[in-house]
């Protein structure tokens, strides 16, 4: 199994990297939330951040088993996106809506990375594919909730 995992280390590290992006993205979103409002959103963002911490902690041992080190990096596009998110919310008169819009875009990117990884997982160990599918499904569930929060905040 070690050799099979070794062949998929880059794929696993790509998933860890998108989770690192998601963790930092929600840290940014939490920092940008207005203090007086959105206590429920703060808790939701903390949950989503923690979800990615859990995902990362499930994936990292697979990289270690392959004889490699899990990445601590984030993607350059994620760094640029978080900078844009901060600027956009600073300039926007609808701060909460702009934060939710940015989170929505981040979740779409997360879904796309997992979709591509699942397509590339041919020959991967069942353990890895099972983790990827479960994480993707959990993210989709929470993404659907985020879309509800976004729709509710826009209509308020």
Read off the pLDDT band of 135 (50, 70, 90): very high
Containing H/E element for 130?
A: helix 126-155
Q: What is the pLDDT of residues 7-37, one digit of tens each?
A: 789 999 999 999 999 999 999 888 888 776 6
pTM confidence score:
0.83
Residue 13: its pLDDT value, please? 95
Q: What percent of the chain has pLDDT over 70?
A: 78
pLDDT value of position 5: 64
**Those residues with Cβ within 8 angstroms of residue 83's Cβ, 6 or more apart along the chain or in another chain:** none
Cβ pair 78, 21 in contact under 8 A: yes
What are the residue ranges spanned by the domains of the chain?
A: 2-155
The CA distance from 52 to 22, in Å, is: 7
Q: How far apart are the first and last CA of the chain?
A: 52
Indicate whether 136 pLDDT > 90: yes
Please check the confidence at residue 83 and state whether its pLDDT lies above 70: no
How much is the average pLDDT of 102-125?
92
Residue 88 — pLDDT band, cuts 50, 70, 90? low
pLDDT > 70? residue 89: no
Neighbouring residues of 76: CB distance < 8 A, sequence distance ≥ 6: none
The CATH number corresponding to 2-155 among 1.10.3720.10, 3.40.50.300, 2.40.50.1040, 1.20.1260.10 equals 1.20.1260.10
Please check whether residue 59 is in contact with residue 16, taking contact to mean a CB–CB distance below 8 angstroms: yes
């Amino acid at each position: 199994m070690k050799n099979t995992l070794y062949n998929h280390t880059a794929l696993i590290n790509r998933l860890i990297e998108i989770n690192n992006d998601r963790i930092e993205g929600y840290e940014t979103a939490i920092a940008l939330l207005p203090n007086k409002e959105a206590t429920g959103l703060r808790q939701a963002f903390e949950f989503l951040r923690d979800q990615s911490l859990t995902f990362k902690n499930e994936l990292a041992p697979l990289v270690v088993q392959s004889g490699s080190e899990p990445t601590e990096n984030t993607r350059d596009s994620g760094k640029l996106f978080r900078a844009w998110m901060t600027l956009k919310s600073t300039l926007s008169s609808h701060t909460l809506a702009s934060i939710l819009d940015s989170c929505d875009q981040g979740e779409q990117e997360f879904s796309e990375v997992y979709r591509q990884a699942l397509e590339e997982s041919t020959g991967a160990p069942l353990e890895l594919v099972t983790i990827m599918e479960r994480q993707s499904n959990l993210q989709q569930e929470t993404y659907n909730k985020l879309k509800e929060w976004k729709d509710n905040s826009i209509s308020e």
